[in-house]
């Protein structure tokens, strides 16, 4: 496992990695992945100097691996796979470190604090377009592809005159982070429904605050993910768009990723981690009840709510065509300055 060295000994690449991590933080702060469900999730890793522990082993002789992941529904397969021993089968002693989103996960991977991390594809595309050498190694999660039955959606107050996505034109929509997958897919829903997305206004708001903001008419609408989608609906909100399902069929939302350096220098470890997470994804997809049960071990979701929420899809493969559609929309919306070939960032 890669680590920064202590201040008494400077590794030749340490300064460069710290600088790259700082750049990554600045570039991706506005494109963090979905908000945390845990009040105890830490911020970005220290980014400071740490003793080098490359090829670190656990007491049982397994390779120690640190993965940065947001404590949300999306990463249930990671925790379930650890509980099922899928990572141990690959000689990996897995430590999952809670992050607050891409703003923590990306520089954590670049600096070497994390070997791998979970992040939405929009953050990865933005990073790669800014020459940060990140690359996805496995799928993370995907839309169910079912309008009205997805794990994310746009909700409005019960008495709102907004009845479909096109009615959002000129309105204020709360999203968790500006210039992210939420606003890109919201605009896509408006376009698909025949509306004009150029006038929609976005207001940044943490997911946990969105149900109350909608109920109290503080915003016209909110783009929420589970469990907050179910919470908002239980409070009377109405669903007007399934924005993850609208841009492309079975849209890949997030991936597990690392740096090109790790892929090149620790190819065997990368291969073994990928095999373990792909097995975990398949198991979670086939055993949704166990995926719901594992949520109580790393989130604060009420078990009664966990039983009702719509789970993401967890296919083993990234949908490259759908991600390319998303990248094209990002270019159209001005999130990236040039057209982007997603083959540069996908496995």
- 273 phi, psi to nearest 5 deg: -65, -45
Q: Which two tokens stand for residue 182?
A: 């939420």
Q: What angle in degrees, to the nearest 10, is found between the helix axes of 121-129 and 320-333? A: 60
Kindly give the pairing relationship between strand 252-259 and strand 172-175: unpaired
**pLDDT of res. 104:** 72
Instruction: Quote the tokens at residue 242.
Output: 């399934």
With tokens 């702060």, the residue in question is: 29
How many angstroms separate the CA atoms of 83 and 88, rounded? 10
Calpha distance 91→105 (Å, rounded)? 24
Look at phi and psi of residue 217 and say left if phi exceeds 0, alpha if psi is from -120 to 50, else beta. Answer: left
Rg (CA), the chain: 20
The Cα 151–Cα 309 span in angstroms is 7
**Is the Cβ–Cβ distance between 174 and 221 less than 8 Å?**
yes
pLDDT at 223: 97
Alpha-carbon distance of 85 to 20, in angstroms, equals 34
pTM for this one?
0.83
Confidence at residue 177, expressed as pLDDT on a 0 to 100 scale: 83
Mean pLDDT by 10 residues, the chain (347 residues): 38 42 44 43 40 56 95 96 98 93 80 95 93 96 96 98 97 90 95 95 94 97 96 97 96 97 97 98 97 95 94 96 97 94 96
The answer to whether residues 80 and 280 touch, using CB atoms and an 8 Å cutoff, is yes
**Whole-number pLDDT of residue 102:** 62
Q: Is the peptide bond before 227 cis (omega within 30 degrees of 0)?
A: yes
pLDDT of residue 30: 38
The predicted pLDDT at position 59 comes to 59
Which pLDDT value is given to residue 29?
Answer: 38
């Amino acid at each position: 496992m890669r680590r920064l060295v202590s201040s008494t000994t400077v590794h030749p690449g340490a300064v460069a990695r710290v600088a790259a991590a700082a750049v990554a933080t600045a570039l991706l702060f506005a494109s963090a992945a979905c908000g945390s469900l845990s009040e105890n999730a830490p911020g970005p890793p220290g980014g400071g100097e740490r003793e080098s522990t490359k090829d670190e082993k656990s007491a049982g002789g397994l390779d120690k691996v640190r993965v940065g992941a947001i404590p949300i529904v999306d990463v249930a397969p990671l925790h379930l796979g650890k509980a099922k021993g899928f990572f141990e089968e690959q000689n990996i002693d897995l430590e999952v470190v809670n992050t607050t989103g891409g703003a923590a996960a990306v520089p954590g991977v670049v600096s070497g604090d994390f070997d791998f991390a979970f992040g939405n594809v929009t953050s990865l595309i933005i990073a790669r377009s800014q020459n940060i050498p990140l690359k996805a190694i496995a799928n993370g999660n995907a839309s169910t592809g079912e309008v009205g039955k997805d794990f994310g959606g746009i909700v409005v107050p019960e008495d709102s005159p907004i009845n479909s996505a096109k009615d959002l034109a000129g309105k204020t929509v709360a999203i968790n982070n500006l210039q992210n997958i939420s606003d890109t897919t919201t605009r896509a829903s408006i376009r698909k429904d025949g509306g004009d997305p150029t006038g929609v206004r976005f207001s940044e708001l943490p997911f946990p605050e969105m149900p109350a903001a909608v109920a109290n008419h503080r915003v016209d609408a909110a783009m929420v993910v589970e469990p907050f989608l179910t919470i908002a609906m239980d409070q009377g909100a109405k669903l007007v768009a399934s924005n993850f399902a609208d841009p492309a069929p079975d849209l890949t939302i997030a991936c597990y990723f690392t740096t090109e350096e790790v892929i090149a220098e620790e190819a065997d470890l990368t291969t073994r981690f990928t095999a373990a997470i792909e097995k975990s994804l398949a198991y979670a997809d086939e055993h949704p009840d166990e995926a719901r049960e594992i949520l109580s071990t790393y989130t604060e979701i009420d078990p009664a709510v966990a039983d009702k929420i719509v789970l993401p899809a967890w296919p083993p493969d990234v949908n490259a065509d759908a991600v390319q559609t998303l990248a094209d929309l990002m270019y159209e919306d001005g999130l990236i300055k040039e057209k982007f070939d997603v083959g540069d960032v996908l496995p």
